[in-house]
Chain A
Protein backbone atom coordinates (compact mmCIF):
# COMPACT_ATOMS: atom_id res chain seq x y z
CA UNK A 1 0.00 0.00 0.00
CA UNK A 2 1.21 3.50 -0.80
CA UNK A 3 1.90 6.00 1.93
CA UNK A 4 -0.10 8.66 0.15
CA UNK A 5 -3.35 7.94 -1.59
CA UNK A 6 -4.37 9.74 -4.73
CA UNK A 7 -7.85 10.88 -5.57
CA UNK A 8 -9.44 12.35 -8.68
CA UNK A 9 -12.27 14.80 -8.14
CA UNK A 10 -14.55 15.17 -11.15
CA UNK A 11 -16.88 18.04 -10.37
CA UNK A 12 -18.07 20.92 -12.54
CA UNK A 13 -18.99 23.27 -9.68
CA UNK A 14 -15.78 25.14 -8.89
CA UNK A 15 -16.71 25.96 -5.29
CA UNK A 16 -17.45 22.36 -4.47
CA UNK A 17 -14.44 21.03 -6.37
CA UNK A 18 -12.09 23.41 -4.55
CA UNK A 19 -13.64 22.62 -1.17
CA UNK A 20 -13.19 18.89 -1.77
CA UNK A 21 -9.66 19.37 -3.13
CA UNK A 22 -8.64 21.53 -0.18
CA UNK A 23 -10.02 19.01 2.31
CA UNK A 24 -8.44 15.96 0.69
CA UNK A 25 -5.10 17.78 0.28
CA UNK A 26 -5.28 18.77 3.92
CA UNK A 27 -5.87 15.12 4.82
CA UNK A 28 -2.71 14.12 2.94
CA UNK A 29 -4.14 12.95 -0.36
CA UNK A 30 -2.60 13.65 -3.74
CA UNK A 31 -5.45 15.37 -5.52
CA UNK A 32 -6.27 15.76 -9.20
CA UNK A 33 -9.16 17.88 -10.33
CA UNK A 34 -11.27 17.61 -13.47
CA UNK A 35 -14.15 19.90 -14.37
CA UNK A 36 -15.99 17.52 -16.66
CA UNK A 37 -16.30 13.89 -17.66
CA UNK A 38 -13.97 14.14 -20.66
CA UNK A 39 -11.14 15.72 -18.68
CA UNK A 40 -11.86 13.25 -15.90
CA UNK A 41 -11.45 10.30 -18.24
CA UNK A 42 -8.10 11.62 -19.53
CA UNK A 43 -6.85 12.01 -15.97
CA UNK A 44 -7.87 8.48 -15.05
CA UNK A 45 -5.85 7.16 -18.01
CA UNK A 46 -2.90 9.36 -17.08
CA UNK A 47 -2.79 9.05 -13.29
CA UNK A 48 -4.73 5.88 -12.43
CA UNK A 49 -5.98 7.41 -9.16
CA UNK A 50 -6.63 5.25 -6.07
CA UNK A 51 -10.15 6.67 -5.76
CA UNK A 52 -12.53 8.82 -7.74
CA UNK A 53 -15.18 11.26 -6.63
CA UNK A 54 -17.57 11.77 -9.50
CA UNK A 55 -20.29 14.37 -9.80
CA UNK A 56 -23.43 12.97 -11.39
CA UNK A 57 -24.76 16.07 -13.15
CA UNK A 58 -22.25 17.87 -15.36
CA UNK A 59 -22.54 20.11 -18.42
CA UNK A 60 -20.95 17.62 -20.83
CA UNK A 61 -23.43 14.93 -19.88
CA UNK A 62 -24.19 12.79 -16.88
CA UNK A 63 -21.33 11.22 -14.94
CA UNK A 64 -22.87 7.93 -16.01
CA UNK A 65 -21.52 8.52 -19.54
CA UNK A 66 -17.96 8.80 -18.27
CA UNK A 67 -18.44 5.64 -16.22
CA UNK A 68 -19.84 3.74 -19.18
CA UNK A 69 -16.78 4.67 -21.24
CA UNK A 70 -14.46 3.84 -18.35
CA UNK A 71 -15.96 0.39 -17.84
CA UNK A 72 -15.67 -0.41 -21.56
CA UNK A 73 -12.23 1.06 -22.30
CA UNK A 74 -10.48 0.33 -19.01
CA UNK A 75 -12.13 -2.83 -17.66
CA UNK A 76 -9.18 -3.54 -15.35
CA UNK A 77 -9.51 -0.21 -13.54
CA UNK A 78 -10.89 -1.12 -10.13
CA UNK A 79 -10.38 1.91 -7.89
CA UNK A 80 -13.42 2.75 -5.75
CA UNK A 81 -15.75 5.35 -7.21
CA UNK A 82 -17.94 7.53 -5.05
CA UNK A 83 -20.73 9.22 -6.93
CA UNK A 84 -21.74 12.55 -5.44
CA UNK A 85 -24.98 14.20 -6.40
CA UNK A 86 -27.51 16.69 -5.21
CA UNK A 87 -30.16 15.31 -7.52
CA UNK A 88 -32.75 13.04 -5.97
CA UNK A 89 -33.89 11.60 -9.26
CA UNK A 90 -33.93 7.88 -8.54
CA UNK A 91 -33.73 7.01 -12.26
CA UNK A 92 -30.48 8.91 -12.74
CA UNK A 93 -29.05 7.36 -9.60
CA UNK A 94 -30.17 3.87 -10.63
CA UNK A 95 -28.56 4.45 -14.04
CA UNK A 96 -25.17 5.33 -12.60
CA UNK A 97 -25.25 2.53 -10.03
CA UNK A 98 -25.28 -0.04 -12.83
CA UNK A 99 -21.64 0.75 -13.57
CA UNK A 100 -20.06 -0.89 -10.58
CA UNK A 101 -19.99 2.24 -8.46
CA UNK A 102 -18.85 1.76 -4.88
CA UNK A 103 -21.41 4.11 -3.37
CA UNK A 104 -23.33 7.29 -3.93
CA UNK A 105 -23.94 10.19 -1.60
CA UNK A 106 -26.20 13.21 -1.57
CA UNK A 107 -23.56 15.96 -1.30
CA UNK A 108 -25.62 18.33 0.78
CA UNK A 109 -26.27 15.70 3.45
CA UNK A 110 -22.59 15.12 4.18
CA UNK A 111 -19.75 17.07 5.65
CA UNK A 112 -16.31 16.95 4.01
CA UNK A 113 -15.08 14.96 7.01
CA UNK A 114 -17.78 12.34 6.35
CA UNK A 115 -16.60 12.01 2.76
CA UNK A 116 -12.92 11.78 3.68
CA UNK A 117 -13.75 9.12 6.31
CA UNK A 118 -15.75 7.14 3.78
CA UNK A 119 -13.04 7.26 1.09
CA UNK A 120 -10.33 6.33 3.61
CA UNK A 121 -12.37 3.33 4.76
CA UNK A 122 -12.84 2.19 1.18
CA UNK A 123 -9.13 2.43 0.53
CA UNK A 124 -8.31 0.43 3.65
CA UNK A 125 -10.56 -2.47 2.72
Chain B
Protein backbone atom coordinates (compact mmCIF):
# COMPACT_ATOMS: atom_id res chain seq x y z
CA UNK B 1 0.00 0.00 0.00
CA UNK B 2 1.28 3.42 -0.89
CA UNK B 3 1.33 5.88 1.94
CA UNK B 4 1.33 8.93 -0.29
CA UNK B 5 -1.63 11.10 -1.25
CA UNK B 6 -2.87 11.07 2.33
CA UNK B 7 -5.64 13.63 1.80
CA UNK B 8 -7.16 11.65 -1.04
CA UNK B 9 -7.01 8.43 0.95
CA UNK B 10 -8.57 10.07 3.98
CA UNK B 11 -11.35 11.51 1.87
CA UNK B 12 -12.17 8.09 0.45
CA UNK B 13 -12.01 6.56 3.92
CA UNK B 14 -14.50 9.13 5.23
CA UNK B 15 -16.88 8.29 2.43
CA UNK B 16 -16.77 4.60 3.31
CA UNK B 17 -17.43 5.52 6.97
CA UNK B 18 -20.42 7.70 6.01
CA UNK B 19 -21.86 4.88 3.95
CA UNK B 20 -21.33 2.41 6.84
CA UNK B 21 -23.24 4.71 9.17
CA UNK B 22 -26.20 4.60 6.78
CA UNK B 23 -26.43 0.84 7.12
CA UNK B 24 -28.38 -0.69 10.01
CA UNK B 25 -26.22 -3.52 11.42
CA UNK B 26 -29.27 -5.38 12.72
CA UNK B 27 -30.57 -5.88 9.16
CA UNK B 28 -27.36 -7.68 8.16
CA UNK B 29 -28.21 -10.49 10.56
CA UNK B 30 -31.03 -11.38 8.21
CA UNK B 31 -28.62 -11.99 5.35
CA UNK B 32 -27.21 -15.42 4.78
CA UNK B 33 -24.59 -14.62 2.15
CA UNK B 34 -26.15 -16.96 -0.39
CA UNK B 35 -28.24 -16.75 -3.54
CA UNK B 36 -31.38 -17.04 -1.43
CA UNK B 37 -30.81 -13.47 -0.10
CA UNK B 38 -31.95 -11.97 -3.36
CA UNK B 39 -35.57 -12.65 -2.43
CA UNK B 40 -35.39 -10.98 1.01
CA UNK B 41 -36.68 -7.47 1.58
CA UNK B 42 -33.63 -6.57 3.69
CA UNK B 43 -31.34 -7.51 0.79
CA UNK B 44 -33.41 -5.60 -1.70
CA UNK B 45 -33.56 -2.50 0.51
CA UNK B 46 -29.79 -2.56 1.17
CA UNK B 47 -29.04 -3.21 -2.49
CA UNK B 48 -31.25 -0.25 -3.41
CA UNK B 49 -29.55 2.01 -0.86
CA UNK B 50 -26.03 1.08 -1.93
CA UNK B 51 -26.94 1.44 -5.61
CA UNK B 52 -28.32 4.94 -4.87
CA UNK B 53 -25.19 5.90 -2.95
CA UNK B 54 -23.07 4.78 -5.86
CA UNK B 55 -25.23 6.66 -8.37
CA UNK B 56 -24.80 9.95 -6.51
CA UNK B 57 -21.02 9.42 -6.29
CA UNK B 58 -20.13 9.16 -9.97
CA UNK B 59 -16.39 8.86 -9.29
CA UNK B 60 -17.06 5.69 -7.26
CA UNK B 61 -17.09 2.53 -9.33
CA UNK B 62 -18.25 -0.02 -6.72
CA UNK B 63 -19.89 0.13 -3.31
CA UNK B 64 -20.28 -3.28 -1.68
CA UNK B 65 -20.95 -5.13 1.51
CA UNK B 66 -18.77 -8.09 2.43
CA UNK B 67 -18.83 -10.70 5.11
CA UNK B 68 -16.34 -13.18 6.51
CA UNK B 69 -17.15 -16.83 6.42
CA UNK B 70 -16.36 -19.56 8.90
CA UNK B 71 -13.09 -20.36 7.11
CA UNK B 72 -12.06 -16.66 7.21
CA UNK B 73 -12.93 -16.33 3.52
CA UNK B 74 -14.29 -12.97 2.42
CA UNK B 75 -17.52 -13.05 0.43
CA UNK B 76 -20.00 -10.59 -1.00
CA UNK B 77 -23.32 -9.89 0.63
CA UNK B 78 -24.22 -7.47 -2.10
CA UNK B 79 -22.89 -4.73 -4.34
CA UNK B 80 -24.04 -1.59 -6.17
CA UNK B 81 -24.11 -3.27 -9.61
CA UNK B 82 -27.42 -3.99 -11.35
CA UNK B 83 -28.06 -7.71 -11.16
CA UNK B 84 -27.77 -8.18 -14.89
CA UNK B 85 -24.37 -6.46 -14.96
CA UNK B 86 -21.39 -8.60 -15.89
CA UNK B 87 -19.51 -7.02 -13.03
CA UNK B 88 -22.17 -7.84 -10.42
CA UNK B 89 -21.17 -10.16 -7.61
CA UNK B 90 -24.02 -12.42 -6.50
CA UNK B 91 -24.51 -12.98 -2.73
CA UNK B 92 -22.01 -15.47 -1.40
CA UNK B 93 -19.41 -14.95 -4.16
CA UNK B 94 -16.04 -15.42 -2.58
CA UNK B 95 -13.57 -12.55 -3.00
CA UNK B 96 -10.41 -14.50 -3.53
CA UNK B 97 -8.23 -11.41 -4.00
CA UNK B 98 -8.91 -10.18 -0.45
CA UNK B 99 -5.88 -8.35 0.84
CA UNK B 100 -4.44 -8.30 4.32
CA UNK B 101 -5.80 -4.78 4.68
CA UNK B 102 -9.34 -6.00 3.94
CA UNK B 103 -9.05 -9.02 6.20
CA UNK B 104 -7.53 -6.74 8.87
CA UNK B 105 -10.66 -4.58 8.76
CA UNK B 106 -12.65 -7.55 10.03
CA UNK B 107 -10.06 -8.35 12.70
CA UNK B 108 -9.13 -4.89 13.98
CA UNK B 109 -12.51 -3.20 13.62
CA UNK B 110 -10.88 -0.16 12.06
CA UNK B 111 -11.38 1.56 8.75
CA UNK B 112 -8.59 1.31 6.26
CA UNK B 113 -7.71 2.28 2.76
CA UNK B 114 -5.39 0.74 0.21
CA UNK B 115 -4.38 0.88 -3.41
CA UNK B 116 -3.75 0.92 -6.16
CA UNK B 117 -4.47 -2.81 -5.93
CA UNK B 118 -5.64 -5.02 -8.77
CA UNK B 119 -8.37 -7.65 -8.80
CA UNK B 120 -10.36 -9.39 -11.53
CA UNK B 121 -12.43 -6.22 -12.17
CA UNK B 122 -9.59 -3.76 -12.42
CA UNK B 123 -7.12 -1.69 -10.49
CA UNK B 124 -8.54 0.11 -7.48
CA UNK B 125 -8.13 2.43 -4.61
CA UNK B 126 -10.35 0.88 -1.94
CA UNK B 127 -11.60 2.06 1.44
CA UNK B 128 -13.09 -0.36 3.96
CA UNK B 129 -15.17 0.38 7.07
CA UNK B 130 -16.39 -2.31 9.41
CA UNK B 131 -20.03 -2.57 10.48
CA UNK B 132 -20.03 -3.64 14.10
CA UNK B 133 -22.91 -5.46 15.77
CA UNK B 134 -23.85 -3.33 18.78
CA UNK B 135 -24.68 -6.25 20.97
CA UNK B 136 -21.81 -8.64 20.27
CA UNK B 137 -19.26 -5.99 19.37
CA UNK B 138 -18.22 -8.20 16.46
CA UNK B 139 -17.61 -7.06 12.91
CA UNK B 140 -20.49 -8.52 10.96
CA UNK B 141 -19.72 -6.88 7.63
CA UNK B 142 -17.40 -4.47 5.88
CA UNK B 143 -18.47 -1.66 3.55
CA UNK B 144 -16.09 -1.31 0.61
CA UNK B 145 -15.82 1.64 -1.73
CA UNK B 146 -13.71 1.40 -4.89
CA UNK B 147 -12.59 4.12 -7.16
CA UNK B 148 -10.58 3.34 -10.25
CA UNK B 149 -6.88 3.85 -9.58
CA UNK B 150 -6.58 5.65 -12.91
CA UNK B 151 -9.28 8.16 -11.96
CA UNK B 152 -7.65 8.51 -8.62
CA UNK B 153 -4.38 9.43 -10.35
CA UNK B 154 -6.22 11.96 -12.52
CA UNK B 155 -7.79 13.36 -9.38
CA UNK B 156 -4.30 13.54 -7.95
CA UNK B 157 -3.21 15.58 -10.92
CA UNK B 158 -6.20 17.85 -10.58
CA UNK B 159 -5.98 18.28 -6.83
CA UNK B 160 -2.26 18.17 -6.38
CA UNK B 161 -0.27 18.17 -9.54
CA UNK B 162 -2.36 20.68 -11.45
CA UNK B 163 -1.55 23.65 -9.20
CA UNK B 164 2.07 22.60 -9.38
CA UNK B 165 1.75 22.30 -13.13
CA UNK B 166 0.13 25.74 -13.35
CA UNK B 167 2.89 27.21 -11.23
CA UNK B 168 5.41 25.60 -13.53
CA UNK B 169 3.55 26.91 -16.57
CA UNK B 170 3.49 30.44 -15.16
CA UNK B 171 7.20 30.13 -14.43
CA UNK B 172 7.84 28.89 -17.95
CA UNK B 173 5.85 31.80 -19.38
CA UNK B 174 7.68 34.28 -17.16
CA UNK B 175 11.07 32.84 -18.01
CA UNK B 176 10.19 32.72 -21.71
CA UNK B 177 9.01 36.34 -21.54
CA UNK B 178 12.19 37.33 -19.78
CA UNK B 179 14.29 35.45 -22.30
CA UNK B 180 12.43 37.00 -25.25
CA UNK B 181 12.96 40.46 -23.79
CA UNK B 182 16.57 39.63 -23.14
CA UNK B 183 16.96 38.27 -26.67
CA UNK B 184 15.41 41.48 -28.04
CA UNK B 185 17.84 43.52 -25.99
CA UNK B 186 20.71 41.36 -27.18
CA UNK B 187 19.61 41.71 -30.81
CA UNK B 188 19.42 45.47 -30.33
CA UNK B 189 22.91 45.46 -28.81
CA UNK B 190 24.17 43.36 -31.72
CA UNK B 191 22.55 45.69 -34.25
CA UNK B 192 24.06 48.67 -32.50
CA UNK B 193 27.48 47.04 -32.42
CA UNK B 194 27.22 45.99 -36.05
CA UNK B 195 26.21 49.47 -37.21
CA UNK B 196 28.99 50.99 -35.16
CA UNK B 197 31.57 48.63 -36.60
CA UNK B 198 30.17 49.10 -40.10
CA UNK B 199 30.42 52.87 -39.71
CA UNK B 200 34.05 52.55 -38.65
CA UNK B 201 35.14 49.84 -41.05
CA UNK B 202 33.56 51.39 -44.16
CA UNK B 203 34.26 55.02 -43.44
CA UNK B 204 37.92 54.54 -42.53
CA UNK B 205 39.16 53.43 -45.99
CA UNK B 206 36.90 56.03 -47.60
CA UNK B 207 38.57 58.65 -45.41
CA UNK B 208 41.89 57.31 -46.69
CA UNK B 209 40.84 57.93 -50.30
CA UNK B 210 39.50 61.37 -49.42
CA UNK B 211 42.60 62.52 -47.56
CA UNK B 212 45.12 60.97 -49.96
CA UNK B 213 43.36 62.72 -52.84
CA UNK B 214 43.45 65.99 -50.95
CA UNK B 215 47.20 65.62 -50.40
CA UNK B 216 47.79 64.93 -54.10
CA UNK B 217 45.79 68.04 -54.97
CA UNK B 218 48.13 70.02 -52.70
CA UNK B 219 50.88 69.42 -55.25
CA UNK B 220 50.92 72.51 -57.48
CA UNK B 221 52.88 70.80 -60.25
CA UNK B 222 49.96 68.51 -61.22
CA UNK B 223 48.92 68.56 -64.86
CA UNK B 224 45.35 69.64 -65.52
CA UNK B 225 44.03 66.17 -66.48
CA UNK B 226 45.54 64.58 -63.33
CA UNK B 227 44.16 67.37 -61.15
CA UNK B 228 40.72 66.86 -62.71
CA UNK B 229 40.84 63.09 -62.20
CA UNK B 230 41.97 63.32 -58.59
CA UNK B 231 39.33 65.99 -57.90
CA UNK B 232 36.73 63.51 -59.15
CA UNK B 233 38.15 60.78 -56.93
CA UNK B 234 38.01 63.08 -53.91
CA UNK B 235 34.47 64.25 -54.73
CA UNK B 236 33.27 60.66 -55.18
CA UNK B 237 34.82 59.65 -51.86
CA UNK B 238 32.98 62.50 -50.14
CA UNK B 239 29.68 61.46 -51.79
CA UNK B 240 30.26 57.85 -50.82
CA UNK B 241 31.02 58.82 -47.23
CA UNK B 242 27.85 60.90 -47.15
CA UNK B 243 25.75 58.02 -48.45
CA UNK B 244 27.25 55.47 -46.09
CA UNK B 245 26.73 57.82 -43.14
CA UNK B 246 23.12 58.50 -44.15
CA UNK B 247 22.47 54.80 -44.63
CA UNK B 248 23.93 54.00 -41.23
CA UNK B 249 21.98 56.80 -39.56
CA UNK B 250 18.74 55.56 -41.10
CA UNK B 251 19.60 52.01 -40.04
CA UNK B 252 20.29 53.11 -36.49
CA UNK B 253 16.98 54.91 -36.32
CA UNK B 254 14.98 52.14 -38.00
CA UNK B 255 16.62 49.33 -36.05
CA UNK B 256 15.60 51.01 -32.81
CA UNK B 257 19.20 51.56 -31.78
CA UNK B 258 18.60 55.30 -31.76
CA UNK B 259 14.91 55.14 -30.95
CA UNK B 260 15.29 56.96 -27.66
CA UNK B 261 15.29 60.73 -27.93
CA UNK B 262 17.30 62.87 -25.55
CA UNK B 263 15.04 65.90 -25.32
CA UNK B 264 16.16 69.26 -24.00
CA UNK B 265 14.66 72.74 -24.23
CA UNK B 266 15.97 73.87 -27.58
CA UNK B 267 15.60 77.16 -29.39
CA UNK B 268 14.49 76.10 -32.86
CA UNK B 269 15.22 79.53 -34.33
CA UNK B 270 18.75 79.36 -33.00
CA UNK B 271 19.10 75.83 -34.37
CA UNK B 272 17.93 76.94 -37.84
CA UNK B 273 20.45 79.83 -37.78
CA UNK B 274 23.18 77.43 -36.71
CA UNK B 275 22.45 75.03 -39.55
CA UNK B 276 22.20 77.87 -42.09
CA UNK B 277 25.63 79.09 -40.96
CA UNK B 278 27.17 75.71 -41.78
CA UNK B 279 25.91 76.14 -45.35
CA UNK B 280 27.21 79.70 -45.76
CA UNK B 281 30.18 78.67 -47.89
CA UNK B 282 28.14 76.37 -50.12
CA UNK B 283 25.47 79.07 -50.48
CA UNK B 284 28.12 81.61 -51.41
CA UNK B 285 29.47 79.30 -54.10
CA UNK B 286 25.99 79.15 -55.65
CA UNK B 287 25.33 82.89 -55.10
CA UNK B 288 22.33 81.80 -53.17
CA UNK B 289 20.64 83.48 -50.22
CA UNK B 290 19.42 81.56 -47.20
CA UNK B 291 16.96 83.74 -45.31
CA UNK B 292 15.05 83.47 -42.03
CA UNK B 293 11.78 85.35 -42.63
CA UNK B 294 10.48 87.90 -40.07
CA UNK B 295 7.56 85.56 -39.34
CA UNK B 296 9.95 83.27 -37.42
CA UNK B 297 9.90 84.24 -33.70
CA UNK B 298 13.25 85.46 -32.40
CA UNK B 299 13.09 82.54 -29.99
CA UNK B 300 11.04 79.38 -30.43
CA UNK B 301 11.75 77.00 -27.59
CA UNK B 302 10.73 73.39 -28.17
CA UNK B 303 11.41 70.27 -26.13
CA UNK B 304 13.33 68.19 -28.67
CA UNK B 305 16.41 66.04 -29.17
CA UNK B 306 18.73 68.85 -30.21
CA UNK B 307 21.24 66.78 -32.22
CA UNK B 308 18.55 64.84 -34.06
CA UNK B 309 16.52 67.93 -34.83
CA UNK B 310 19.67 69.62 -36.06
CA UNK B 311 20.28 66.66 -38.34
CA UNK B 312 16.70 66.87 -39.67
CA UNK B 313 17.02 70.60 -40.35
CA UNK B 314 20.43 70.01 -41.89
CA UNK B 315 19.02 67.44 -44.28
CA UNK B 316 16.01 69.57 -45.27
CA UNK B 317 18.09 72.72 -45.78
CA UNK B 318 20.82 70.76 -47.57
CA UNK B 319 18.16 69.43 -49.94
CA UNK B 320 16.78 72.95 -50.51
CA UNK B 321 20.26 74.27 -51.20
CA UNK B 322 21.16 71.39 -53.46
CA UNK B 323 18.18 71.79 -55.76
CA UNK B 324 17.99 75.60 -55.78
CA UNK B 325 19.12 77.42 -58.88
CA UNK B 326 22.05 79.79 -58.67
CA UNK B 327 21.06 83.26 -57.46
CA UNK B 328 17.95 81.76 -55.89
CA UNK B 329 16.64 82.09 -52.36
CA UNK B 330 15.95 79.53 -49.63
CA UNK B 331 13.49 80.96 -47.13
CA UNK B 332 12.56 79.66 -43.70
CA UNK B 333 9.20 81.03 -42.52
CA UNK B 334 6.87 80.27 -39.63
CA UNK B 335 3.14 79.80 -39.03
CA UNK B 336 1.12 78.67 -36.04
CA UNK B 337 -2.14 76.76 -36.18
CA UNK B 338 -3.56 76.04 -32.75
CA UNK B 339 -1.06 73.82 -31.00
CA UNK B 340 0.99 73.25 -34.14
CA UNK B 341 4.12 75.25 -34.82
CA UNK B 342 5.24 75.03 -38.43
CA UNK B 343 8.55 75.88 -40.05
CA UNK B 344 8.34 76.19 -43.83
CA UNK B 345 11.55 75.70 -45.81
CA UNK B 346 10.97 77.02 -49.31
CA UNK B 347 13.44 76.82 -52.16
CA UNK B 348 13.36 78.29 -55.63
CA UNK B 349 14.60 75.07 -57.12
CA UNK B 350 13.75 72.62 -59.85
CA UNK B 351 10.66 71.42 -57.98
CA UNK B 352 9.44 67.85 -57.68
CA UNK B 353 7.05 66.39 -60.30
CA UNK B 354 3.56 65.92 -58.77
CA UNK B 355 3.60 62.21 -59.60
CA UNK B 356 6.81 61.71 -57.66
CA UNK B 357 5.98 63.88 -54.66
CA UNK B 358 4.84 60.96 -52.54
CA UNK B 359 8.17 59.20 -52.98
CA UNK B 360 10.49 61.86 -51.59
CA UNK B 361 10.37 60.48 -48.07
CA UNK B 362 10.61 56.80 -48.90
CA UNK B 363 14.42 56.56 -48.91
CA UNK B 364 16.63 55.31 -51.75
CA UNK B 365 14.54 57.57 -53.98
CA UNK B 366 15.50 60.53 -56.09
CA UNK B 367 13.04 62.20 -58.40
CA UNK B 368 13.71 61.84 -62.13
CA UNK B 369 14.64 65.48 -62.62
CA UNK B 370 16.88 65.31 -59.55
CA UNK B 371 18.73 62.33 -60.99
CA UNK B 372 19.17 64.23 -64.26
CA UNK B 373 20.36 67.37 -62.50
CA UNK B 374 24.04 67.90 -61.76
CA UNK B 375 23.76 67.09 -58.05
CA UNK B 376 24.75 64.29 -55.75
CA UNK B 377 22.30 62.72 -53.40
CA UNK B 378 21.21 59.42 -51.98
CA UNK B 379 17.56 60.13 -51.28
CA UNK B 380 18.19 59.18 -47.67
CA UNK B 381 18.40 62.65 -46.23
CA UNK B 382 14.71 63.46 -46.40
CA UNK B 383 13.78 59.97 -45.30
CA UNK B 384 15.89 60.36 -42.19
CA UNK B 385 14.60 63.89 -41.57
CA UNK B 386 11.02 62.66 -41.65
CA UNK B 387 11.84 59.76 -39.32
CA UNK B 388 13.38 62.16 -36.83
CA UNK B 389 10.46 64.61 -36.93
CA UNK B 390 7.94 61.78 -36.60
CA UNK B 391 9.86 60.38 -33.64
CA UNK B 392 9.12 63.75 -31.99
CA UNK B 393 5.39 63.35 -32.69
CA UNK B 394 5.59 65.89 -35.50
CA UNK B 395 5.19 65.78 -39.26
CA UNK B 396 7.33 66.63 -42.25
CA UNK B 397 5.31 67.30 -45.41
CA UNK B 398 6.07 68.62 -48.85
CA UNK B 399 4.36 70.66 -51.57
CA UNK B 400 6.02 71.45 -54.84
CA UNK B 401 5.58 72.99 -58.22
CA UNK B 402 7.89 71.84 -60.94
CA UNK B 403 10.08 74.67 -62.14
CA UNK B 404 8.95 76.98 -59.31
CA UNK B 405 10.18 75.34 -56.14
CA UNK B 406 9.47 73.12 -53.20
CA UNK B 407 8.22 73.84 -49.68
CA UNK B 408 8.96 71.45 -46.84
CA UNK B 409 6.87 71.99 -43.72
CA UNK B 410 8.20 70.78 -40.38
CA UNK B 411 5.40 70.74 -37.81
CA UNK B 412 5.81 70.21 -34.09
CA UNK B 413 3.10 70.40 -31.45
CA UNK B 414 2.82 72.78 -28.51
CA UNK B 415 3.10 69.93 -26.03
CA UNK B 416 6.78 70.09 -26.85
CA UNK B 417 6.99 73.87 -26.37
CA UNK B 418 8.41 75.37 -23.21
CA UNK B 419 7.77 79.10 -22.81
Contacts and interface: CB of A to CB of B under 8 A. Distances in A.
Given A26-B218, A112-B211, A112-B215, A88 B204 contact: no
Nearest to B209: A15
Given A23-B218, A26-B218, A109-B245, A57 B200 contact: yes
Contacts of A20: 211
Interface string A1-33: 000000000000101100110110010000000
Given A23-B218, A26-B218, A87 B211 contact: no
Contacts of A26: 215, 218
Contact of B215 (A19, A57, A87, A108): A19
Given A86-B203, A86-B204, A108-B206, A19 B192 contact: no
Contact of B214 (A13, A86, A92, A113): A113
B205 interface: yes
Contacts of A23: 211, 214-215, 218
B248 interface: yes
A20 B196 CA distance: 23
B231 interface: no
Contact of A15 (B212, B245, B248): B212
B241 interface: yes
A109 B241 contact: yes
Contacts of B48: none
A91 B245 CA distance: 18
A107 B218 contact: no
A107 B204 contact: yes
A89 B252 CA distance: 10
B94 interface: no
A89 B192 CA distance: 8
Contacts of B252: 88
Interface in B194-225: 195-196, 199-200, 203-208, 210-212, 214-215, 218
A125 interface: no
A111 B214 contact: yes
Nearest to A21: B215
Between A16, A23, A88, A113, the greatest number of chain B beta carbons within 10 A of the residue's beta carbon is seen for: A88
Nearest to B192: A89
A16 B241 CA distance: 15
Nearest to B199: A88
Contact of B207 (A86, A87, A89): A86
Nearest to B215: A22
Contacts of A111: 210-211, 214
A113 B210 CA distance: 12
A107 B203 contact: yes
A85 B244 CA distance: 15
Contacts of B196: 87-89, 92
A29 B222 CA distance: 24
A105 to B, nearest CB: 11
A87 B203 CA distance: 9
Interface in A61-89: 85-89
Contacts of A106: 203, 245
Contacts of B204: 13, 16, 86, 107-108
A12 to B, nearest CB: 10
A113 B244 CA distance: 22
B47 to A, nearest CB: 85
B236 to A, nearest CB: 13
Q: In the A-B complex, list the 6 residue pairs whose CB atoms are closest, starting with the nearest.
A: A19-B211, A15-B208, A86-B203, A108-B203, A89-B196, A108-B241
Given A22-B215, A86-B199, A111-B210, 13 more contacts: A16-B211, A19-B215, A23-B215, A23-B218, A85-B200, A86-B200, A87-B199, A88-B248, A88-B252, A107-B203, A108-B203, A109-B241, A111-B211
Interface of B: 192, 195-196, 199-200, 203-208, 210-212, 214-215, 218, 241, 244-245, 248-249, 252
21 contacts: A15-B212, A16-B204, A16-B207, A16-B208, A19-B211, A19-B215, A22-B215, A85-B200, A86-B203, A86-B207, A87-B200, A88-B196, A89-B192, A89-B196, A92-B196, A107-B203, A108-B203, A108-B206, A111-B211, A111-B214, A112-B211
